[in-house]
Amino acid sequence: MICLETQHFNLNRTLLLAIGLWPYQKSKLVRLQIILFFGILISFVIVQFTALITKKCTVNFIIKVFSTMIFSSSYIIMYNMFWINSHRVRNLLEQLQYICNELKDENEFTIIKKCGNNTKFCTLTCTVFAICCALFAVLLPIWPQIFGTILHINESQIQSQAMQITTEYFIDQKKYFYLILLHTNAIFCIGTTTLAATGTTLLGCAIHACGLFRIASYRMEQIMTTKMFKNVNLKDRSMIYNKKIFCAVEIHCKAIKFCEFLSSTFKGSFFLLVIIAVISLSLNIYGIFQNISFGDKEAFLLHLLFASVILLYMFVVNYVGQEITNHNNYIYFTAYNSRWYNAPLQTQKLILFILLKGSRTYHLNIGGVIVASLECFATLTKTSMSYFTVMYSMEE
């Protein structure tokens, strides 16, 4: 028996526990932790928004503020998405555990174990990437101070170079520079952990969904390759065929229901994230080109970091959606290429039903609006570049 929580999602569990979003065993201390972290994330968006109220707004200034503020709002959406849907996240993991408990074939266990290894590898890779991004963002404001010590730059010049994110705290920002820096660093640490923890958990569920489709294909392959029909009469042979087809169709239906539950649970949040990703990518690409012309290296690197994270997130989500579609289509091809003509007539009718059902391609829907695929990734990227082109042409 496979325990998904301890064997496949152990690193995801650690990350979610660190930010209080693990859906099991919620104590009062964990609830307090959630409120504190969520309040910190919201406060950072507020202090950026207040800058639009208190300072003179030009087109470039508005774009600069929104490029970081909209990206920061993705932290809030991802955190809130797992917080308010904690019971659904728990149901998602329990559904997957229940399906895995029903597996009996050793090869099917091997498929699920391979999915677990892929989940752990992807989670570890994303966690290392998130740590590198957080360290980069945290150390970026300190770079001027390090070079300032060497080059004898005064404190005011260092602080003006270090504040790349425009905020308004209604206090003396030079006097309380290090407190503001502490708040900003806390945001980056909590935010990157949130993106890594929630994103890899959903990624792990999607990887296991692909594994369920692969098991359905394996069961379909075994229908016509069994060697136990030599001394079996036609009636018993038909019963064995039908039972095997039923097992293949059953796991296929469970895989589809699991994917639909996954997409419907976070439908509203996914819709907002798609909009935020497109807008934020456009603004940050604009920030990259703008700061190249201004020669502001720190701001250029910050916008480059944000744009890279958005592109990576968009690509992974759409790639996983494409993989789910491909695995589902493979079931259809397996049934089509099987030796269906050797099966009894009743079994041939059941296989024909599978072929008719498989002719309609299944897609993972995101936010009830778009279909996750590599084509969708290209479309979203193209849309972001179009918005960037419009903004850049208006500046000229």
pLDDT of residue 6: 82
pLDDT of residue 153: 46
Give CA–CA dist 277/313, Å, rounded.
9
pLDDT tens digits, 265-310: 888 889 999 999 999 999 999 999 888 887 777 788 888 999 999 9
pLDDT of residue 250: 83
Q: Which residue has the tokens 């408990």?
A: 101
**How many DSSP H helices and E strands does the chain contain?**
14, 2
Tokens standing for residue 260: 């639909």
Residue ranges in the chain modelled with pLDDT below 50: 149-155, 157-158, 160-162, 228-229
Give CA–CA dist 240/227, Å, rounded.
12
pLDDT of residue 157: 46
pLDDT of residue 338: 67
- Where are the domains positioned within the chain? 4-395
pLDDT tens digits, 300-315: 888 899 999 999 999 9
Whole-number average pLDDT of the chain: 83
CA atoms within 13 A on the CB side of 229: 16
Single pTM value for the model: 0.88
CA end-to-end span of the chain = 64
Residue pair 64/214 in contact by the 8 Å Cβ criterion: no
pLDDT of residue 54: 82
Give CA–CA dist 20/40, Å, rounded.
14
pLDDT of residue 197: 95
Give CA–CA dist 245/89, Å, rounded.
31
pLDDT tens digits, 322-343: 999 998 888 777 777 766 666 6
